[in-house]
Amino acid sequence: MNALISRGSLFDDFFKDVAPGFYVKPLHGDALPARMKVDVREAANAYTVDAEVPGVSKEDIHVTIEGNVITLRAEVKQQDAQREGERVLRSERYYGAVARSFQLPEEIDESASRARYDNGVLHLTLPKKAPAVGQRLTIE
């Protein structure tokens, strides 16, 4: 099964040989992957999430928590700066975004959740919400 050719690779190789300048890759490296790679671990009182988002500044990463649903969104905006006294002959700009949502088994305590971004990896610590304790009503 591993010997299968990925979709489009035959055509990509053909056009790369025939017209190498026709398909130009971004100057700033590859685009964001179509899907973030995520590791989720569970401890007794919290979940830990590590998500790969390389090449993204922490200001362009958005994490949303709604109950037990976590949504991660990352945007890349790269532009080449024009310097004084230079004439731009060619300018390639890249913009891309990727988002991912997943559901955890238990609700998350949003107020105690923490996020840290280090070397292209987003680290989330998501404490589990304490179960609601029923309140006893006084009978009049």
Please tell me the pTM assigned to this model: 0.64
Look at residues 47, 35, 33 and name the one whose alpha carbon lies nearest to residue 103: 47
Distance CA 9, CA 99 (A): 25
Look at residues 133, 125, 135, 138 and name the one whose alpha carbon lies nearest to residue 65: 125
Q: What confidence score (pLDDT) does residue 28 get? A: 46
- Express each pLDDT in 19-56 by its tens digit: 455 444 444 445 555 678 999 999 999 999 999 988 78
Distance CA 61, CA 89 (A): 32
In a domain, 61, yes or no: yes
In a domain, 139, yes or no: no
**CATH value at residue 123:** 2.60.40.790
In a domain, 113, yes or no: yes
Region 74-99 average pLDDT? 73
Q: What confidence score (pLDDT) does residue 95 get? A: 72
Its domain, for residue 62, covers 9-80+91-127
In a domain, 140, yes or no: no
Domain count, the chain: 1
In a domain, 111, yes or no: yes
Q: What confidence score (pLDDT) does residue 98 get? A: 87
In a domain, 105, yes or no: yes
CB atoms within 10 A of CB 131: 8
In a domain, 86, yes or no: no
